[in-house]
Structure 1
Amino acid sequence: MHAIKIRLSQEELEQLENLAGAGYSLEQIAMYLDVPKNDFIAEFYDLDSFVNYHYKRGLLMVDAAAGLALAANAAGGNITAHQQLEKIRMAQFVEREKKRIIYGQETP
């Protein structure tokens, strides 16, 4: 782990999550937070950093909210929602298997 070059408040970490979930790039988020772009990107590539964690959490939060809404629609009998949910599940399964097979990562 490299030395932390930037410090973000809890509010800024929440903004990072929201911006990541909305699809903004690392460069755009660094500009929004008014932090040095290169330092911010270096923090992101440190897999143990707060920047990396909160960026990925922002993506997950949006995906999870959409997935939960889709699951509720599927449970209510919406066939299209069910088909979309199955497609998402298969993509997630394939991604987990790739990580397990290619990188040797244990996945639940």
Structure 2
Amino acid sequence: MPYVLLAAAIAAEVAGTTAMKYSHGFSRLWPSLGTLVGYAVAFTLLAQALKSMSVGTAYAIWSGVGTAAIAAIGMLFMGEAANAARLAGIVLIIAGVVLLNMGGAGAH
């Protein structure tokens, strides 16, 4: 169950960050509200996941997957450059999350 909560927290964070892009510096009401709601939901769900997960594992997954997802969304849907360096960065983020999880599975 904590991984389901964590996945939902990641989805809410990604939605909030995407809305932030469309808020144009919080000058547009609906995307600004979407940002606030997305982050409120993300932190609430992350806090629930932390009840039964170690903070290092949960935060590594939450921040790493969220960062990789937003980078991919930017490249796929927002016209951001998709070059070898950016793609390698996403791979390294994912590799870092995997390594953190492999090295800290027993620590709580």
Q: TM-score, normalised by structure 1?
A: 0.35
Whichever structure has more helix as a proportion of its residues is: 2
Q: Which has the higher contact order (CA 8 A, sep 6+)?
A: 2
Larger Rg: 1
